[in-house]
Amino acid sequence: MIFDLIKNRRAIFPAQYNDKPIAKEEIEKILEAANWAPTHRKTEPWRFKVLTGASKESLGYFLAEKYQETNPKPKQLKFRKIRDKPKQSAAVIAICMQRDPEERLPEWEEIAATAMAVQNMWLCCTELKIGAYWSSPSLIQYMDEFFPLGEGEKCLGFFYMGYYDEEPEPGMRRPVDEKTVWLK
């Protein structure tokens, strides 16, 4: 049931992933789920760059070096974590957003549509028992130095994915009535 799937979605981090690879067909299924997100004016602003194999390690080194270059007092532990996170993942998907060239709608709507595409990916991963985590570090502002971005395209973060062995902790939410106002 979709409600159970929504309630069971969790952030599962790269350090929790095992070594099992994710088949290309599974990644394609996850991306197809993303492609069915709502989109105002049918701009379909989501763009994805899938990193597997050696490209994940290259991403880790790029991010770690950029961290060291832009931070006045870089910490070795943080440097290593940034460098190793992509390598710990079976796949990393760079989440990008292509701005409508005509700017027919506010940018926030295209960012929201891209976020909904990521939610679809995350729910699909939950169904497939693939761990996932969306990270949006400040270093994404430099991604045009790592891979080509089109005119008006920006990177919004990374979607780390991998199979995992331990079941995630159950989620907790405050009651929705604490966040709801009914108007009559």
In a domain? residue 177 = no
Mean pLDDT for all residues in the chain: 96
CATH of the domain at 68: 3.40.109.10
The pLDDT of residue 54 is above 90: yes
Instruction: Over range 66-73, report the average pLDDT.
Output: 95
Report how far residue 52's alpha carbon sits from residue 141's, in angstroms, rounded to the nearest whole number.
21
- The model's confidence at residue 178, banded by pLDDT at 50, 70 and 90, is very high
In a domain? residue 100 = yes
**Tens-place pLDDT, residues 23-49:** 999 999 999 999 999 999 999 999 999
Which pLDDT value is given to residue 88? Answer: 98
Tell me which residue range forms the domain holding 88: 2-164
Report how far residue 57's alpha carbon sits from residue 61's, in angstroms, rounded to the nearest whole number.
6
In a domain? residue 51 = yes
Which pLDDT value is given to residue 4? Answer: 92
Check whether 182 is labelled as a binding-site residue.
Answer: no
- The model's confidence at residue 162, banded by pLDDT at 50, 70 and 90, is very high
- The model's confidence at residue 1, banded by pLDDT at 50, 70 and 90, is confident
In a domain? residue 172 = no
Nearest partner of 94 among 123, 43, 129, 58, judged by Cα: 58
In a domain? residue 170 = no
In a domain? residue 175 = no
Domains in the chain: how many in total? Answer: 1
In a domain? residue 95 = yes
Which pLDDT value is given to residue 122? Answer: 98
Please say whether the dihedral angle defined by the alpha carbons of residues 88, 62, 91 and 78, taken in this order, is positive or negative.
positive
Check whether 46 is labelled as a binding-site residue.
Answer: no
Phi and psi at residue 60, in whole multiples of 5°? -60, -45
Check whether 55 is labelled as a binding-site residue.
Answer: no
Q: Which two tokens stand for residue 13?
A: 């981090």
